[in-house]
Amino acid sequence: MAGIQEVVEQYITPDTLEEKTALWIEKIAAYRWREIEWVDSAATALLVVDMTRPFVDPGRPLASPNSAVILPRVNELLEAFRTRGKPVVWLIQGHHSVAADRGQLLDFWWPSPILEGTQDVEVATGLSVEPGEKVILKRRYSGFYQTDLELTLRCLKVSSVVVCGVLTNVCPYLTAFDAFYRGFRVYYPADGTASLNEHLHLAALRSICAWAGYVVSCAEIVDWLRGNVS
């Protein structure tokens, strides 16, 4: 059976990310059936999904080389949210044990346990969690499944979420759809997410913008938070 490494390709570099972002926005245009609504950004939270060492740090078996490339963009989003005192929530894959909360089915499809109490649940090199920012350990792909993420967002009076992280077509993707199901407006940064290859990345962006949220750039989100987009 083919493994992850057989489908991995580096489709972005720091030098090409800007150009690629513009190209992705162009390529998903046929699926953008709704005009982007830049509502009041006051009730917005940033959800950072799986930007952790196993998925980002170079040389790790599960890491995509593209994940490290988007890290500066994620930091730009973090700075923009923090500067304005807006909520940041970290969603991190982590399990107590295979038997306790991982189960045979997930273990079959993803036979690489990420366990609590290890370096695998630490955020990637170059990122940091600041005091007051909530960290939620998730047991499945979506950050909403069997966690208190929805309760957290309701308590914070959040109505819109920016979902960034890796992999574009898995955990951030399913978290974004689950946010949509719960009535949260979703903004999905094309250059704040990354996948194993460009085909998977683009497929996810097309699905999001067609059915669940607004695919935009990190720069547009920062401008929105500054009040420069309407």
Please report where in the chains the tokens 């038997």 appear, as a residue: 99
Question: Active site includes 155?
Answer: no
Structure tokens at 77: 């989003």
Q: Which residue from 106, 115, 90 is spatially nearest to 141, judged by alpha carbons?
A: 106
CA–CA dist 201, 113 (Å, integer): 24
Active-site pick, 155, 164, 171, 218: 171
Active site residues: 171
